[in-house]
Amino acid sequence: MSNLSPADPLDDIKAWFVHLRAFRSACVGTNAMDMNLLTFANAAITSVLPTSAEQNNFIVSAVDATGYNDMAVSDLSTTYKTFEALLDHWNPLITPIALYLWSLSVPSLQGGASADFWKALISTAFPGGSKGVAWTGVMNGLASAFAPECFTAAFQTKVNAAVDAAGTKISDLVPQIAGLG
């Protein structure tokens, strides 16, 4: 189940971060609001919400804020270890990132099958590597959609290094970007 519309992947990326903030706000009475969004996204759910009362309160608040109404305590304590993984269950960040990159890749890949794009080399999809005009546009768009604390200079350097590495495929890069560092 995803709230994605392929027409505007940047808006879908922004919405993902809105929902992550809603998850953080739903951690009522915890130290979650003291965490920056990247730390919160990667935090172990049971360390932020150790009690069943906190977990139940989170579910009520998170469902109200996001509409993901089939959330269960087992999702928090067993199935998904981090808030990022929990959110990705309903709204996988990887999807709008892939759609966004696909929309800015070379025209021959844009007109092809998604499987071909997924298998393509970064150097084919974005000639010029991390310094190329196309990739610079990708990074500017991602910077506008990501929460700033999740799009740090170190993260950008890591992504750009992957873009410039020989043999890197789209299927290698997209999960790295969606992994938030």
Q: Which of 59, 74, 90 is the last residue of a domain?
A: 90
pLDDT of residue 78: 87
pLDDT of residue 5: 44
- End-to-end Cα separation, the chain, in angstroms: 25
Give the structural domain span for 82: 9-90
Q: Tell me how far CA of residue 116 lies from CA of 89, 123, 133, 136, 163, in angstroms.
A: 25, 14, 22, 22, 18
169 CB neighbour count, 10 Å cutoff: 16
pLDDT of residue 1: 34
Residue 115 belongs to a domain:
yes
pLDDT of residue 181: 66
Residue 20 belongs to a domain:
yes
**98 and 85 share one domain:** no
Residue 27 belongs to a domain:
yes
**125 and 164 share one domain:** yes
**82 and 31 share one domain:** yes
Low-confidence ranges of the chain (pLDDT < 70): 1-7, 181
**119 and 165 share one domain:** yes
pLDDT of residue 7: 67
CA angle 31, 37, 42 (to 5 degrees): 85
